[in-house]
């Protein structure tokens, strides 16, 4: 998923950008831009993409002894 070629363009993972203040990036071509903006110069850099974390597993109603090793 992270290396797919048809990603939604966003400045936050464009190779021309660097992170700046909250919600903005510094673009080599356009200056300060919104992190979710884009333009025709977009070039995907998969190493800038931060994968979403998985939600914590639901343990309600489960026996806690099932998770111990003794």
- Site residues for ligand SF4 per CB under 6 A: 9, 11, 14, 16-17, 25, 27, 29-30, 33, 37-39, 41-42
Closest approach of Cβ 19 to ligand SF4, in Å? 11
CB-nearer residue toward ligand SF4: 40 or 58: 40
Mapped to the 3 state alphabet, what secondary structure does 4-62 carry?
A: CCCCCCCHHHECCEEECCCCEEEECCCEEEECCCCCCCCCECHHHCCCCCCCCCCCCCC
**Least CB distance to ligand SF4 at residue 59 (A):** 41
């Amino acid at each position: 998923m992270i290396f797919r070629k048809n990603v939604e363009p966003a400045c936050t993972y464009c190779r021309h950008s660097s992170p700046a203040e909250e919600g903005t990036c510094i673009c080599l071509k356009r200056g300060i831009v919104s992190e979710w903006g884009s333009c025709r110069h977009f070039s995907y850099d998969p190493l800038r993409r931060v994968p979403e974390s998985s939600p914590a597993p639901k343990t309600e109603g489960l026996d806690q002894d099932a998770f111990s090793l003794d």
